[in-house]
Amino acid sequence: MYRVLIGDDDETILKGIRFHLQEQNALEIVTAETKEEALNYIENDEFDAVIVDLMFPEADDGLSVIRCARNQMYRPFILAMTAFESVDNAVATMQAGADDFAAKGFNLDELMLRIENLFKRKKELQHLTIENEILRQTVRQQFNDYQIIGLSRQIKELMGKVLKIAEDAYATCLIEGESGTGKDLFARTIHMMSKRSYAPFIPINCAAIPDNLLESELFGHERGSFTSAYVSRQGKFEQANEGVLFLDEISELPMPLQGVLLRALEEKEIYRLGGKRPIHVDVMILAASNRDIEQLVHRNRFREDLFFRLNVIKITIPPLREHPEDIEPLALFFLEKFNSQRNKQLVLSKASLDQLKNYTFPGNVRELRNIIEDAFVFCTGKIIHPSDLRFKHPQKLYHRTMRQSGTKQLEFLLQTDHQHAIDEFDKIYFQELLKKYDWNMQRAALEAGISREWLSKKIKQLGISNK
């Protein structure tokens, strides 16, 4: 049942409207004959609609009731009535916050139709609000549970910081990490988990845009500000208003522009190129770099004051080699994603997972994703074997294995003569190489840079067997 408040100092009109509306079983009617009575109802109760006379008895009184209703947490729809229809009255009521305007003398059936339309709009907005909230929760769930994958202590601690940053949604944050660690993904996650998620996420790669165009991209320009500026144009700051601006590769920002950016961050206002008036912007700034900006400051390649302004909060994304326990869940996640996209059911063999875990991934998570997709595309069966995995830096495949072999292995090699040490190393090398390619002699020989016949002779010589 909808609750409706009617405010009018004309008792005859008040009774007439009330009598007509009470015939509608879905409406509960409350009336007020004075401004004070109407304000008291609105401030202490909840209504779905407020119908108020603009002259109550003065125009300011009716407008004050409209403003009060507009500012309530449970915002009702507002219909303003007046005996004097004019453009000025209509404009005044709409500016005060009314949703509809009607001149007195209207047919009561017409009034009911207007109210029904208001309730219809209210219902549509409620559905839209619910749908938007469901969508936001879904996207948050996707980013939080299915995009940032990690069981390691480092990733869990990092996600704790991300949640705090998203909850604040104001402080500038500097995201550092090697190329391929997922800086863009962490920035998008902060946006989607924050109260700014309803507003845009605007990324800009400072290294990808020519210096002479970058200022216009960031701050926009006015018509005629330079030769090809035929129309005025918003920059990324204005486009990201109330949302998040992600400045990727911030370390590549030219020195002259660093000063302009610093002023924009401190004053929270910008000037378009050729513009003379300041434009206020409410933007959360996330900046990212794969370089150590503090070192650039020491080398006079980056402004110290801008660094301090960006470095309010800093998070560092660790390279994949520092949390190898996340390699397997990431690999399985990517494979499942590709399976879903291409409607396939491929799986990774245990040997393939072991080989992935023994690789140091200089290209980080991006390289792991690419290796899995490459294997997915070229795999001829339903199981991805080690022979399907192609590493960009195969020499780094054995680094972790050799490091994990520990001091005892090194001590053993140092206690024997040179030839025995070489043979022992060769045995480890060829065992791992053959394991990598599931004993495919041709592929193993090709990677080792030797003939298949020489590899076969070496296997016999070293006593290596496929068991």
Domains in the chain with CATH codes: 2-124 (3.40.50.2300), 151-318 (3.40.50.300), 320-390 (1.10.8.60), 405-467 (1.10.10.60)
* DSSP string computed for 396-423: GTTHHHHHHTHHHHHHHHHHS-HHHHHH
What value does the mean pLDDT of the chain take? 83
Is the pLDDT assigned to residue 80 strictly greater than 80?
Answer: yes
Kindly report whether the global pTM for this prediction surpasses the value 0.75. Answer: no
Using a pLDDT cut of 90, give the percent of the chain over it: 40
Higher pLDDT, 397 or 124: 124
pLDDT computed for residue 171 by the predictor: 94
- Lowest-pLDDT range of 356-365, 385-394, 403-412: 403-412
Instruction: Provide mean pLDDT across the span 226-236.
Output: 84
pLDDT tens, position by position, 119-150: 777 667 666 655 555 555 554 544 444 368 88
Contact 286, 247 (CB under 8 A): yes
**Helices and strands (DSSP H and E) totals, the chain:** 20, 14
pLDDT exceeds 70 at position 394 = no
Give the pLDDT confidence score for residue 310 in this predicted structure: 96
Mean pLDDT of 347-362: 90
Lowest mean pLDDT of 75-79, 138-142, 146-150, 156-160, name the range: 138-142
Residue-level pLDDT at 328: 94
Q: Is the dihedral of CA 279, 284, 290, 293 positive or negative?
A: positive
Q: How far apart are CA 199 and CA 325, in angstroms?
A: 36
d(CA 360, CA 11): 84
- The pLDDT value recorded for residue 459 is 85
Lowest mean pLDDT among 13-17, 68-72, 245-249: 13-17
Higher pLDDT pick, 125 / 17: 17
Count the neighbouring beta carbons within 10 Å of the beta carbon of residue 107: 8
Tell me what the mean pLDDT of segment 41-47 comes to.
85
Q: What is the mean pLDDT of residues 179-204?
A: 93
Q: Counting beta carbons within 10 angstroms of the beta carbon of residue 49, is it exposed (0 to 12), middle (13 to 18) or buried (19 or more)?
A: buried
The pLDDT value given to residue 141: 47
Is the pLDDT at 236 greater than 50? The verdict is yes
Average pLDDT estimate for 282-291? 95
Please state, in angstroms and rounded to a whole number, the distance separating the CA atoms of residues 362 and 225: 45
For every residue of 70-128, DSSP letters joined together read HTSSS--EEEEEESS--HHHHHHHHHHT-SEEEETT--HHHHHHHHHHHHHHHHHHHHH
User: Does 436 score more than 90 pLDDT?
Assistant: no
Q: What are the residues facing 245 on neighbouring strands? A: 202, 285
Considering only residues 104 and 323, tell me which one the structure prediction assigns the higher pLDDT.
Answer: 323
pLDDT of residue 353: 92
The larger pLDDT score, comparing residue 241 to residue 146, is at 241
Res. 70: pLDDT tops 70: yes
Compute the average pLDDT of residues 59-64.
Answer: 78
Q: Does the structure show a pLDDT above 80 at 294?
A: yes
DSSP secondary structure code for residue 232 in this structure: -
221 DSSP assignment = B
**Residue bearing the bigger pLDDT, 373 or 16:** 373
**Any idea which of 20-24, 222-226, 256-260, 343-347 has the lowest mean pLDDT?**
20-24
Question: pLDDT band at residue 327, thresholds of 50, 70 and 90?
Answer: very high
> So what's the pLDDT on residue 23?
67
